[in-house]
Amino acid sequence: MNLENKISKIGRNMKSSIIREILKFASDEEAISFGGGVPDPETFPRKELAEIAKEIIEKEYHYTLQYSTTEGDPLLKHQILKLLERMYGITGLDEDNIVFTVGSQQALDLIGKIFLDDESYCVLDDPAYLGAINAFKQYLAHFIVVPLEDDGMNIDVLEKKLSELDRRGKIKRVKFIYVVSNFHNPAGVTTSLEKRKALVEIAERYDLFIIEDDPYGALRYEGETIDPIFKIGGPERVVMLNTFSKVLAPGLRIGMVVGDKEFIKRIVQAKQSADLCSPAITHRLAARYLERYDLFEHLKPTIEIYRRKRKVMLKALEENFSDIPGAKWVKSEGGLFVWLSLPEGFDTWEMFEYAKKKKIFYVPGRVFKVYDEPSPSMRLSFCLPPDEKIVEGVKRLREVVLEYGRTKKIF
């Protein structure tokens, strides 16, 4: 059978994760990988989750082993409402403001499906989160790409591009602005309060909504928490995506959308056709865990580990890259990534062949470009390798950069 000639318009627009392809080399014992953004399994509360799992399957089997509702576990929603209040002072919501998804990825996919088509536009930053690019691209949408600065999206460029579309009578086709507000993946930057307010103001002016994706917000190592865009703009204008993947365990695959009730209804409707409902076991497991344990207390040692590893990586970069002209990196206040940029002329995608030989792995910046373009930057994740490997890895990276730079006659 010829599959190729049966593929739909959307199907033709899907692409495989390049990160997957890249990181399959990293399983070598001598390799050091700054590639994946996966948390350290030792930070998972396995004993507690194991006990609870046994209990909820044995005693709550009517719920945990049966089909559940598309919206997800009401007990877990109750816990989320408490967490949102405690973490960000967000109040005034109830369970109809929340729907759970299979990871945040499903939320991105469903939002793309509901709002984007070949006549739609949406705003993404440059660089942008790969999962969002992939989810939105499928639906044939057009992108308004706005450069990311150290304090968030370049607001002037955003305004210019939107007013241009307004002049051309196309502003109604622009559906939303997608923002990773805290410790951006991949760029590590946090959107300033000023820019958060500016984004809300722009969204109101042009009647757009904002998707605030906040998987890393609880992983802050220094500085003060900034009000979420969701809190500034309210559920009428902003939907917030969150996940337990970085603070409890990715294996649960629990993402969530918090937003206006009408918006949530739409997501529920889309999720019905997408997978009917999530596994109730995972929801109840998280709900009972949050009832019995303090997530923020649990996170303290995790945060200590990541804070230390981040420091080790930043110090190693200082020692190995300060003398490389034009190299710079973002000192993120939280999250899992450092974004390292090399001078013009570098193509970290092409350089990856050099890195493979030295068994050091990173994610080339090209992967985070909305349109496939060369990039002089790369994402370095410090969450998995032990301290000494981080130091050794940055040294190897220096060698790779010097070799590539000399070969390409950049230095």
The footprint of its own copies on residues 200-239 (CB under 8 A) is 207, 209, 236-237
Residue 194, CA distances (Å) to 201, 205, 228 in order: 11, 17, 12
Total of chain residues touching its own copies, rule CB under 8 A: 83
The whole-angstrom separation of Cα 198 and Cα 335 is: 24
Q: Which of 14, 300, 353, 373 binds its own copies (CB under 8 A)?
A: 14
Q: Which of 138, 242, 332, 377 binds its own copies (CB under 8 A)?
A: 138
185 binds its own copies (CB under 8 A): no
Least distance (Å) between residue 328 CB and its own copies:
30
Number of H helices, E strands in the chain: 15, 14
Between 46 and 86, CB nearer to its own copies: 46
Question: Which structure tokens are listed for 199?
Answer: 């984004």
Which residues on adjacent β-strands are paired with residue 102?
254
Question: Which structure tokens are listed for 281?
Answer: 């076991």
Report DSSP state, residue 220. Answer: B
Least distance (Å) between residue 398 CB and its own copies:
30
Least distance (Å) between residue 19 CB and its own copies:
10
> Is there a contact between 113 and 137 (Cβ–Cβ < 8 Å)?
no
- Give the x-and-dash track for 28-47 against its own copies (CB under 8 A): ----------xx-x--x-xx
Least distance (Å) between residue 219 CB and its own copies:
16
386 binds its own copies (CB under 8 A): no
Question: Which structure tokens are listed for 291?
Answer: 């009832």
Q: How many residues does this entry show for the chain?
A: 411
Site residues for its own copies, 334-353, by CB under 8 A, read none
Between 65 and 294, CB nearer to its own copies: 65
Between 223 and 276, CB nearer to its own copies: 276
Q: Which of 35, 127, 131, 228 binds its own copies (CB under 8 A)?
A: 131
Q: Which of 25, 115, 221, 293 binds its own copies (CB under 8 A)?
A: 115
The whole-angstrom separation of Cα 295 and Cα 9 is: 44
Site residues for its own copies, 234-273, by CB under 8 A, read 236-237, 245, 249-253, 260, 262-263, 266, 269-270, 272-273
102 binds its own copies (CB under 8 A): yes
Taking residue 2's Cβ as centre, other Cβ atoms within 10 Å add up to 5
Q: Which of 22, 26, 32, 64 binds its own copies (CB under 8 A)?
A: 64
Sign of CA dihedral 76, 78, 83, 88: positive
Least distance (Å) between residue 301 CB and its own copies:
16
Within 163-276, strands assigned E span 174-180, 209-213, 238-243, 254-258
Site residues for its own copies, 275-294, by CB under 8 A, read 275-282
Q: Which of 57, 299, 391, 402 binds its own copies (CB under 8 A)?
A: 57
Site residues for its own copies, 156-175, by CB under 8 A, read 172, 175
Least distance (Å) between residue 386 CB and its own copies:
15
1 binds its own copies (CB under 8 A): yes
Between 139 and 368, CB nearer to its own copies: 139
86 binds its own copies (CB under 8 A): no
Between 28 and 117, CB nearer to its own copies: 117
Q: In this structure, what are the phi and psi dihedrals at residue 153, rounded to the nearest 5 degrees?
A: -55, 145
User: 3-class DSSP state for residue 123?
Assistant: strand
Question: Which structure tokens are listed for 154?
Answer: 């370049």
Between 218 and 401, CB nearer to its own copies: 218
Q: In this structure, what are the phi and psi dihedrals at residue 177, rounded to the nearest 5 degrees?
A: -110, 130
Within 103-237, strands assigned E span 121-126, 142-149, 152-153, 174-180, 209-213
Report DSSP state, residue 247. Answer: T
Q: Is 231 left (phi over 0), alpha (psi -120 to 50) or beta?
A: alpha
Between 228 and 259, CB nearer to its own copies: 259
Type of residue at 234: G
Site residues for its own copies, 287-326, by CB under 8 A, read none
The whole-angstrom separation of Cα 297 and Cα 224 is: 18
Type of residue at 1: M
Between 175 and 220, CB nearer to its own copies: 175
